[in-house]
Amino acid sequence: MEVVRTIKDLSKIIDNQRVSGSKIGFVPTMGALHQGHISLVKRAGEECSFVVVSIFVNPTQFNNKEDLERYPRDLGADVALLEKTKCNLIFAPTAEEMYPEPDTRAFNFGDIENVMEGVYRPGHFNGVAQIVSKLFDAVRPDNAYFGLKDFQQLAIIKKMVNMMNYPITIVPCAIVREADGLAMSSRNKLLSKEQRENATVISKTLFDAVKLKDNYDVESLKKWVTETINNNPYLDTEYFEIVNDTTLQPINNWDEKVNKIGCIAVHCGKVRLIDNVMF
């Protein structure tokens, strides 16, 4: 396994792999890796002959400077974790490498970016599209692997791939959870012991909501989930929406013939956690 810091060095290796006929799998990350990330790398290793993992905390997708500064970083630990996987190459650029000049591109994803995360994190998805497109241009993968925990982000990336005609297959991968149900996230490392214990209320409430849905209409269930979580003094729900899993627009009743997903964002102290479940 090799670690490179520049697009030039990355391109040389990718060119050689292309010549040798390798199928290239790509897992973009912001580091602070956990078993959720590793599950993506494992899937990529099963389906591709050469696996690239990027580690880059992208400043343009943070609309909160404090959140950017607080985001956990430990490249040494990340490299050690990836050495035990089928990762062949780590791309760990600096901000100057990825943004030698400001990226002024503005993406328009329509209705799917104007709900949920788009409401509470203005500019976030434009930053995601900027960096993912830059990484796609540099790595030129056949397959790219993304976790379903960031469900709206996945929808944005799929749309970007179509808009920009990238010959890349986007592979969604299941949410990986801790033994107590909490969705794995790099941000979990920022939780205190007490916060970590109480954060499990989020997933437990979502799982209960799936079981209870026949007892409530959509709006009443949304209210029940929000109130149940907010009754915990450590938690404050930012939003909980039940939406069409393709358009991401809210559903009004259970009879709608679409796949339905419940997406949530909750503040636990200063740490913002997201999760989702299928209904």
Per the structure, how many domains does the chain have? 2
What average pLDDT does this structure show over 240-254?
A: 97
Write the single-letter amino acid at 145: Y
What average pLDDT does this structure show over 233-238?
A: 98
What average pLDDT does this structure show over 101-122?
A: 96
C-alpha–C-alpha distance, residues 8 and 24, integer Å: 17
67 and 34 in a single domain? The answer is yes
**Which residues does 126 contact at the CB level (< 8 Å), separation at least 6?**
60, 61, 105, 106, 107
What distance, in Å, lies between the first and last C-alpha atoms of the chain? 41
DSSP 22: P
- Cut 0.85: pTM above it: yes
- Which residue range is the domain that position 32 belongs to? 2-173
C-alpha–C-alpha distance, residues 42 and 51, integer Å: 9
138 and 256 in a single domain? The answer is no
C-alpha–C-alpha distance, residues 144 and 137, integer Å: 12
CATH of the domain at 272: 3.30.1300.10
User: What does the pLDDT look like over 166-195, one tens digit per residue?
Assistant: 999 999 999 999 999 999 999 999 999 999
Q: Quick one: pLDDT at residue 63?
A: 85
Averaged pLDDT of the chain: 97
User: What does the pLDDT look like over 11-45, one tens digit per residue?
Assistant: 999 999 999 999 999 999 999 999 999 999 999 99
Q: Quick one: pLDDT at residue 59?
A: 93
What average pLDDT does this structure show over 218-230?
A: 98
203 and 229 in a single domain? The answer is yes
User: Model confidence at 4, in pLDDT bands (50, 70, 90)?
Assistant: very high
Confirm whether 267 is a catalytic residue. no
User: Model confidence at 66, in pLDDT bands (50, 70, 90)?
Assistant: confident
Q: Is residue 8 part of a domain?
A: yes
Of the three residues 148, 173, 198, the one that is the final residue of a domain is 173
72 and 130 in a single domain? The answer is yes
Q: Which two tokens stand for residue 93?
A: 């650029």
147 and 242 in a single domain? The answer is no
C-alpha–C-alpha distance, residues 40 and 28, integer Å: 10
Q: Is residue 181 part of a domain?
A: no
Percentage of residues in the chain having pLDDT higher than 70 = 100
β-bridge mates for residue 273, sequence order: 266
- Catalytic residue, from 34, 37, 124, 267: name it: 37
User: Model confidence at 270, in pLDDT bands (50, 70, 90)?
Assistant: very high
Q: Which phi-psi region, left, alpha or beta, contains residue 202 (left: φ > 0; alpha: ψ -120 to 50)? A: alpha
Burial of residue 117, with CB atoms counted within 10 A of its CB: 0-12 exposed, 13-18 middle, 19 or more buried: buried
H helix or E strand, kind and range, residue 151: helix 151-163
Contact 190, 267 (CB under 8 A): no
